Structure 1
Amino acid sequence: MLTRSGAAMTAAAAGLIALGAWTDYPELVTLGLAAAGTLLVAAAWLVASPRLTVVREVRPRRVFEGDAAQATLTVTNVGRRGSPPLRITETVGGHRTTVAVPALTAGHGCTVSYPLPVASRGRYVIPPVQLGHSDPLRLLHRGRACGGELVVHVYPRVHLLATIATGGPQDAEGQTVSSAPLGGVAFHSLREYVPGDDWRRIHWGATARTGTVMTRHVVVPDEPRQLVVLDTGATPYSGRLFEDAVRVAASFCVAAERSGLPLRLRTTGGAERDSSGTALELLSTVACGAADRGLAALSDLVRDVVSDTEGVALTVVTGRVGTDAAQLLMQLRHRFLTVNLAQLVPPDSALPARPRGVLAVAAPTSEQFAANWNRLVLR
């Protein structure tokens, strides 16, 4: 590929040869041929390109908004001839970053580190690096792709939120269900021994009575589950309030994980995750849409998570709540241990609705919401 200097040299060669032939001026033709010969030498230089290996690492691969991700390139000259100075181009989220690599003698290498432009939340697919080199006069440029794609997740910024002590058993002797995870200390029932069971849990009395080796079935006790619902409809939000709503939802997910409580995240658009790590990955790419039903879909979203044996604490993150949504939350209140409502509203706007029996907190930003929430919960 011609560089700007190469294009100028090509135009000069053609112009000098044409002008010399037209004016019968051999000196101009000679200058034009010299310029053309320089381009041919540059092309020959690129044909004998150096043999290089490129290893790229990106750490960390998962960061929060505002944190930095850094790439490290290790370039090694494995050929027999030295390599000229190189330019390596990274394209991340539409932004190009050019990294200069010095000339390398045969058998030598160098390591170059540089920050990646991943400031806002999202899932960034980083294509292979473009390894390019030029001739000494910078007339021609040749590039090739090296390595494979990498993915970097930028999670929403998270604020420290206090958790509410909800009702329901959380100790070792709490209520249990057969579907609870194994490995706890709460006794649920007796069952037949299977290879791999801890022999210390064999119930010898039941074994003697039944003639079959019986063991205690112990599970993790039932704990109040945390259900976080993010409204991904476009109607409740204006400006960048949706970004603040995503940060608030992420903060609730991290708070539940930090407290050791089972978590489920759902969006009104139908997406769902069951742990803090996967919830943050979902929240790194979630978007609001005009076709999303918003909180009108809340009844369908929570129908399958409420049972007689499990307590669920519901947290709804949205923008300004209308009268219909407020009434819906009041109707659902009796089905949950607690119902929390997080509203992201424009500053200097009228106070939003506060449904009866619902802990409602409103703020114009995620930072202000965290401050308001903690002030209310910890008082």
Structure 2
Amino acid sequence: MAVAAVCLVAAGIWADYPELVTLGLAAAGALLVAVLWLLATPKLTVAREVQPRRVFEGEAAQAALTVRNVGRRRSPPLMVTDTVIGQRTSVPVPALAAGGECTVGYPLPVTQRGRYEIPPVRLGHSDPLRLMHRGRASSGTHVVHVLPRVHALTLVAAGGPQDAEGPTVSSAPLGGAAFHGLREYEPGDDWRRIHWGATARAGTLMARHVVVPDEPRQLVVLDTSAVPYSTPLMFEHAVRVAASFCVAAEQARLPFRFRTTSADERESGSSALEFLSTVARSSADRGLAGLSDHVRDVVSSTQGVVLTVITGRTDAAVAHLLTLAHPKFLSINLAQLVTSDPAALSRPRGVLAVSASNSEQFAINWNRLVQR
């Protein structure tokens, strides 16, 4: 518009054509109106809420914008722009009277597994002719985790101390019936658990520390090397199987640890799933060849461990390694995600091996075998 104004005025003067000069001045006037319009910036506050912050693959994440006019005059229609992984989403906000408020919702384009950082939204408005645009960043940055899809799995019933007076550890959940030791009385403790003999000797109130008896621990190891997986999709299926085992252990209230062959470890359910949302395979990863190093501390310090290994195609060396490790664990489970015929795969002796071409089929095969 600015170039047209200059050219029209210059051409009108050169050709002595008043109509061209009039058109050029009209273009310049439109620009002047646009500048004056944008100088009167509306006073608005913007609050964005993203729910939920953690979703599984296939689920939708929504953002809700609440725009409030805190000025003394009516605000013009606005356009809010949100950018996620390079995709721009424009949300129109209607004109708001003084003190008015409007809430608009829109879906976020977060569908694949990953960690998404949602930058501040950009709030802007234009003049009536849409010649100029003025915007500013508003609200804060949010993070959305898209967790891998989870399938219902039944854990193998492994032997181990399950009786009410079985072995205990100090980190075990409270509220059980197994006596672990004595500790100082804390506000809220059941007064019936006060040990009066120890209280008399110590000079302070002492209470019995009872916990849930020790149970077989679950150790889930995901192979993050690139070699066993024929395609990136097969690795995605392996991640889903690993997440399914972690959720199954958490739902069964069994203590578990999650590790990868790249030496990353997560112990709680939420952190393990969030880590699985960003885990990636690496060509520099040794894979299951270094499994002994990854489980040495667990075997030496903990009794009653069920080892679950998730990988792609295994070779004879890995099968031999799992066979040698079998006496050190209550049981070893091997989940293989392969595109070839599962019947042709090697099955280590003493290891419960289940193969499938995708995570859905693996859950069917696994549950059919375990619930038999």
1:305 alignment partner, SS class: helix
1:134 aligns with 2:126: yes
**Letter aligned with residue 145 of structure 2:** H
- Give yes or no for contact 2:183–2:209 (8 Å, CA) kept in 1: no
If the length of structure 2 is used for normalisation, what is the TM-score?
Answer: 0.94
Aligned to 1:176: 168
CA-CA distance at 1:349 after TM superposition:
7.0
Cα deviation, residue 345, structure 1: 0.4
The residue type equivalent to 2:266 in the other structure is R
Q: Which of 34, 40, 52 is matched with 2:44 structurally?
A: 52
Shift of 1:15: 2.0
Give 1:291 deviation, angstroms: 0.8
Contact 1:68 1:116 in 2 (8 A): yes
Query: Which of the numbers 135, 144, 157 marks the counterpart of 1:143?
Result: 135
Give 1:359's match in structure 2, choosing from 332, 335, 352: 352
Q: Which residue number corresponds to residue 329 of structure 1? A: 322
RMSD value, Cα: 2.1
Return 5+ residue gaps in structure 1 as ranges: 1-8
What displacement does 1:348 show? 4.7
Matches within 5 A, 1:1-379: 9-178=1-170, 180-189=172-181, 191=182, 193-194=184-185, 196=187, 198-204=190-196, 215-239=207-231, 240-307=233-300, 310-348=303-341, 351-379=344-372
- The equivalent residue for 1:6 is none
Cα displacement (A) at 1:23: 1.9
Check the 8 A contact 1:84/1:136 in 2, yes or no: no
CA distance in 2, matches of 1:179, 1:109: 50
CA shift for structure 1 position 172:
2.2
Q: Secondary structure of 1:299's match?
A: helix
Following superposition, the deviation at residue 270 of structure 1 comes to 1.6
Mapped to 2, the partners of 1:285 and 1:43 lie a distance apart of 46
8 A Cα contact 1:87 1:132, kept in partner? yes
CA distance in 1, matches of 2:366, 2:353: 9
Displacement of 1:93 in angstroms is 1.9
Percentage of pairs with the same residue: 70
How many residues align? The count is 370
Moved more, 16-25 or 359-368: 16-25
367-376 or 179-188, which deviates more = 179-188
Conservation of the 8 A alpha-carbon contact between 1:231 and 1:267: yes
Structure 1 residues 312 and 349, CA gap change in structure 2 (3 angstroms) = closer
Q: Do the aligned residues in 1 keep the contact of 2:342 with 2:355 (CA within 8 Å)?
A: no
Cα drift, residue 217 of structure 1? 3.5
Q: 1:112 to 1:195 in 2, by over 3 A?
A: closer
Q: What are the Cα deviations for residues 255-283 of structure 1, in whole angstroms up to 9, with x where unaligned?
A: 00111100110011121111111110000
Matched letter for residue 272 of structure 1: E
Contact 1:222 1:310 in 2 (8 A): no
* Structure 2: tracts of 5 or more residues without a match: none
Contact 1:192 1:212 (C-alpha < 8 Å) held by counterparts: no
